[in-house]
Structure 1
Amino acid sequence: MSADEDSVRGWSRLHGEDVSGNRVAVGWIRLVHLLARPVARVPPDVLSAAGVLSTAGAVVTASRWPWVALVLVVLGGVLDGVDGAVALRAGRARPLGAVVDAVADRLSDVGLAAVLVALGGDFRWAAAIVVAMFLHEYARARAQGVGMSSAGAITVAERPTRVVIVAVACLGAAVFPTATPWTRWPWATVCLALWSLCALVGGAQLVAGIRRALAGRSRPGSGMADEPGDDLR
C-alpha cells in the first residue's frame, strides 16, 4: 500500500467515513499529509493552537491589509488539516487530541465569521451563521454520542468550504476593494450569502445522513433503546 493510500485509509478510519471515492477529499488529505512531513515532530496540539492564532491574526488585519488576512486564513485552514495528519503519521491520535482539535476548529470558525465582519459584513448576519455552524457540528456530535459511528455525511458546509469562502472574500477585497465587479455588493456580503446557502444545503445533507445512520439503531430488536429525553426520530 502506498503512503497516499495509507493516509486516506487512516483518515477514513479515524472519522468513520469512507472518502476514497471523493476526489476532492482524497486530494486534500494527500496534500495535508505531504505538508505534515516537515513538521512531523511538532505536537499536534501546538499546530491546532497555531491555526487559531493565524485566524485571529486575519481578523486583526482584514480591514487594512486583506492580502495579509488572505495568507493567514489559508494558513489557518492548512494547519487545521496538518495537525490531524501529524497525529496520524506519528501515532499520536488520541481522544483528548480530538477534543482539542474540535475546540480549535470552533474558535477558528468564529474567527472566520469575524473576518467577514471586519471586511464590512453585517454582524448580526455573521452571528446567525455562527449559530447555524454550531448547530451543524452539535447535531453531528450528538448523533455520534448516541451511536452514529460515522460523520453522517460530508456536506458542502464543512470547514474547508468555510475557509475557502472567507479566503475568497479577502482576495476579492484586495483586488476589488470597493465591491464585487458583478453585483456591486461588498465582498463580505456576497460571501455571507454564499456561506448561508452552504449552511442551508449542508444542514439538509447532514440531517439526511444522520437519519440514515440512526434509522436501524432505533428499531425494535436493534439492541438500542432510546434514552430518556432523547428524540431519535
Structure 2
Amino acid sequence: MPPYLSREEYFTAWSQWHGGTDPRSSPVVRGWLTLAHTLARPLAGLSPLVVTLVGLLVAAAAVGPAAAGGAWLLLAGALVGASGLLDSLDGALAIAGGRASRRGFVLDSAVDRLTEVAYAAAFWVAGAPGWLAVVFGALCWFPDYLRARAGQAGVEETGAISVWERPARVAVAGMSLVGAGVASVVGLHGLVVVLGAAAGAVLGAVGSIQLAVQLRRALG
C-alpha cells in the first residue's frame, strides 16, 4: 500500500483532482477536509468504495425519520451529517491513501448527487413545499454541473470555492433538520424546515452566480 499522504500533500492532491481548486482558501472546506484526513488515517486499509456506498445508504436512511417528524427529525439531521462525513472520508481514503482513480472519482461524484437528492427528499417529507425542495436539490447539483461542463470545454481551473460547496450543503440540511427536531417541541418544526430549505436555495443561487462569473472569465 502506498504511504499515507500528509495533510498538506493531501490538500495538493485533492486540488489536482478538483480542477485546481485550493481547499486552503476556505476555512470551512479546509477544516472539513482536515477532519476527514485525520479520521481516514487509522482506517487506511478500508475500501473507499465501501465507504462511498455506505454514505449513500446513510443519506437515504435520513428520509424515513424526516417523514416521521417530531423528535425523529434529530435522527434525520444526524444521518445527513454522517453521510457528509462519510463522503469526505472516502475521498481521503482514496486520495491520501494513494488509491484515487478516474473511475472512483466519477462514481463518488455520482453518489454525491444522489445523496443530495436524499437531502431534498428529507426536506420535502419533513414539511417543505415540493417546489422549494426541488429548487434546493437543483441548486445542489447546478454548481457541479457548471464545473463539469467547463472542464469538458477545456477549462483546467474550474473555479474557486464558493459559499455552496459540499460541506455547506451538508451543514444546511443536517442543521435544519436537527433544528426542526428541537423546534417540534413547540410545534415550529415546519417553519424551521422551510427556512432551512430556503436558506439552502439562497446560498445555492449565490454560489452558482459566484461560480458562473469565475467560469465566464476563464471561458473568455
Q: State the TM-score, normalized to the length of structure 1.
A: 0.84
Partner Cα separation in structure 1 for residue 28 and residue 139 of structure 2 = 24
Residue 207 of structure 2 is matched in structure 1 by 202
RMSD: 1.7
Q: Of residues 7, 12, 24 in structure 1, which corresponds to 2:10?
A: 7
Deviation at 1:153, TM superposition (A): 2.6
Deviation at 1:148, TM superposition (A): 1.3
Deviation at 1:61, TM superposition (A): 1.3
Is the Cα contact below 8 Å between 1:32 and 1:78 reproduced in 2? yes
Task: Number of aligned residue pairs: give it.
Answer: 210
Deviation at 1:136, TM superposition (A): 2.5
Partner Cα separation in structure 2 for residue 30 and residue 134 of structure 1 = 24
Deviation at 1:116, TM superposition (A): 0.7
Q: Secondary structure of the equivalent of 2:154? A: coil
Give the letter aligned to residue 110 of structure 1. V
Which consecutive aligned stretches of 4+ in structure 1 deviate over 4 angstroms post-superposition? none
Change (3 A) 1:132 1:18: closer
Residues 1:80 and 2:80 aligned together? no
Residue 193 of structure 2 is matched in structure 1 by 188
Give the letter aligned to residue 67 of structure 2. S
Superposition pairs for residues 104-183 of structure 1, below 5 Å?
104-177=111-184, 178-179=187-188
Residue 50 of structure 1 is matched in structure 2 by 54
Residue 40 of structure 1 is matched in structure 2 by 44
Partner Cα separation in structure 2 for residue 55 and residue 21 of structure 1 = 28
Structure having the higher helix fraction is 2
Find the structure with the greater CA-based Rg.
1
Partner Cα separation in structure 1 for residue 62 and residue 21 of structure 2 = 31
Q: Secondary structure of the equivalent of 1:176? A: helix
Deviation at 1:23, TM superposition (A): 2.5
Give the letter aligned to residue 5 of structure 1. E
Q: Secondary structure of the equivalent of 1:196? A: helix
Partner Cα separation in structure 2 for residue 166 and residue 128 of structure 1 = 13
Give the gaps of 5 or more residues in structure 2: none
Residue 211 of structure 1 is matched in structure 2 by 216
Partner Cα separation in structure 1 for residue 145 and residue 118 of structure 2 = 18
Give the letter aligned to residue 54 of structure 1. V
1:126-150 per-residue CA deviation (whole Å, 9 max, x = no partner) reads 1133233333222210001111112
Deviation at 1:105, TM superposition (A): 0.2
The one of the two structures with greater contact order (alpha-carbon pairs below 8 A, sep at least 6) is 2
Give the letter aligned to residue 4 of structure 1. R
Worse-matched range after superposition: 38-47 or 93-102: 38-47
